[in-house]
Structure 1
Amino acid sequence: MAAFLVADGGSGTGGPRTLTPDEANRLAITRFRNYAAHGRAVTITVPGTAGGLIVTGSVDYQRKLGYGVVHGTGRDTSSDGLIGWTATSVFVHPLANAPAHAPASPPRSAWHSRPLLSSGSALDSSLSIALKLGSDRPDNAELLPQNGAAWWGRDQVDGHRVDVMTGPSSRDRSGTAGNVRYWVASDGTMYRVRVSVASEPQPVVIDFDTHKYVPVKPVPGVTPTR
């Protein structure tokens, strides 16, 4: 259960009630389906009291890489540009007029790198969360309900009928069940995740398949995980 994210997911859409065996099975495989797909197109909405950020890009769940373009919302364009990230590092390429979508091949120069912060940055927390939504194996469906995972309601995301479910408590943080929301289709495909970060009052929202997936090419200085 430690592999599941643990953070405040905000208000629900109904429920809660205990997961049925079918719902538990779908929640157990949802991160594995991201991994099996190799990668997914994502739109990450990052909250911010002085204006938010939107990252539009792709995540490679097998090599643990992300790449996309950042645009500010309700703020100036000083943070706009291309972005690449791993579990430990962030790479930024500022652009005064950032495109709607990142070029398939990252520029070969003018990148600036820094460590990915483990706390205090809503952007870095969002990038880290996005990478953790893939796993090379399913979770244990029988243990999910025992550790507090629950069904909250039904919804639609971009025309996809989904169930809204919350994850379990983590092994080292009891009482955290219900803190992450997963919008999961009947085949176990994940279409949305909502998680709060400690540095902001509003949650991070990660939407999948909002645009065409483009395979992630590492930015200069990145060594992919094999």
Structure 2
Amino acid sequence: MIGGVAVAVATFLIADSGSAPAGPKTLTSDQASRLAVTRFLNYQAGGRAVTVDVPGTAGGLTFTGSIDYRRKVGYGALHGTGRDTSSDGLIQWTATTVFVHPMGKAPAKAPARPPESGWYSRPLQRYGSSLDSSLAIALKLGSDRPDNAELLPQNGAAWVGQDRLDGHQVDIMTGPSARATSGPTGAAGAVRYWIGSDGTMYRVRVGVASASEPVVIDFDTQKYVPVRPVPGVTPTR
């Protein structure tokens, strides 16, 4: 379901909100249908507010902001956790390019209108960078069409258990490997989704090859703010 990113298959246990995994079990038709449409619902919504926690041996990074799933661009504030502030600032990215605006005292939330100057660009690294892998994965959690519900179980997707997340009753499901270029292929277990009864995606947890701990992507952690491209960014539709 997520493509173009090097991801290590993680065999970790999920224990959020005091719940323990009960599976894996074969997906029911309803569960497979919800897993198949969850990325499409992000696309239909236009965009989602997200918080991305990226682990690191020298301290983690936390991104807080928004992703426009139709134009395929994300924007927000980046803060180090347990490390210095050298990585703090504003960040915007597309599928190919990362734009950074360093700030010694980065705001908790990015300004709705990005600064006109002070941006530096670089190619998005597909391998070797936990941050870039996390940004690429987060951007691919929206799709302009549903996945094939019938193929998901055949390619290893499974039900793991139930949880309650921010007041929402959710099912935890493993998805096909993030090594897939598109659609459900590859080994299961690399990605776990917390999905509501209507297919809404509330959390994604994924192991990346460059990090010893999984990346956690939480949705609706704050109000969604439409993404305004910084000068020089040309999002794709």
Normalised by the length of structure 2, the TM-score is 0.91
TM superposition shift of 1:168: 2.4
Deviations along 1:51-101, one digit per CA (max 9) or x if unpaired, are: 000000000000000000001000011110000000000000011111110
Q: 2:85 aligns with which of 77, 92, 96?
A: 77
Identity of matched residues, %: 72
Measured in 2, the distance between the counterparts of 1:39 and 1:195 equals 20
Please show how residues 159-178 of structure 1 align to structure 2 within 5 Å: 159-169=167-177, 176-178=187-189
2:230 aligned with 1:214 = no
Measured in 1, the distance between the counterparts of 2:8 and 2:196 equals 22
Deviations along 1:163-211, one digit per CA (max 9) or x if unpaired, are: 0001125668976112210000000000000011111110110000000
Q: Which amino acid aligns with 1:222?
A: V
Q: Which amino acid aligns with 1:186?
A: S
Q: 1:185 aligns with which of 177, 191, 196?
A: 196
Q: 1:99 aligns with which of 107, 111, 117?
A: 107
Helix, strand or coil at the partner of 1:93: strand
Measured in 2, the distance between the counterparts of 1:3 and 1:22 equals 24
> Could you list the runs of 5+ residues in structure 2 that have no partner in the other structure?
15-20
TM superposition shift of 1:8: 3.0
Q: 1:8: which partner in 2?
A: 9
Q: 2:58: which partner in 1?
A: 50
Measured in 2, the distance between the counterparts of 1:3 and 1:78 equals 30
Helix, strand or coil at the partner of 2:31: helix
Q: Is this contact kept in 2: 1:7–1:176, CA < 8 A?
A: no
Measured in 2, the distance between the counterparts of 1:39 and 1:91 equals 19
Q: 2:208 aligns with which of 172, 182, 197?
A: 197
Note closer, same or farther for the CA distance 1:62–1:143 as it changes in structure 2 (3 Å cut). same
Note closer, same or farther for the CA distance 1:218–1:171 as it changes in structure 2 (3 Å cut). closer
Runs of 4+ deviating beyond 6 Å: none
Deviations along 1:133-183, one digit per CA (max 9) or x if unpaired, are: 000000111111111110000011111110000112566897611221000
> Could you list the runs of 5+ residues in structure 1 that have no partner in the other structure?
none
Q: Is this contact kept in 2: 1:4–1:167, CA < 8 A?
A: no
Measured in 2, the distance between the counterparts of 1:85 and 1:192 equals 20
Please show how residues 82-161 of structure 1 align to structure 2 within 5 Å: 82-161=90-169
Helix, strand or coil at the partner of 1:32: helix
Measured in 2, the distance between the counterparts of 1:192 and 1:73 equals 20
TM superposition shift of 1:7: 4.3
Measured in 1, the distance between the counterparts of 2:196 and 2:97 equals 32
Helix, strand or coil at the partner of 1:17: coil
Measured in 1, the distance between the counterparts of 2:9 and 2:69 equals 23
Note closer, same or farther for the CA distance 1:95–1:85 as it changes in structure 2 (3 Å cut). same
TM superposition shift of 1:118: 0.7
Note closer, same or farther for the CA distance 1:213–1:111 as it changes in structure 2 (3 Å cut). same
Normalised by the length of structure 1, the TM-score is 0.95
Measured in 1, the distance between the counterparts of 2:130 and 2:139 equals 15
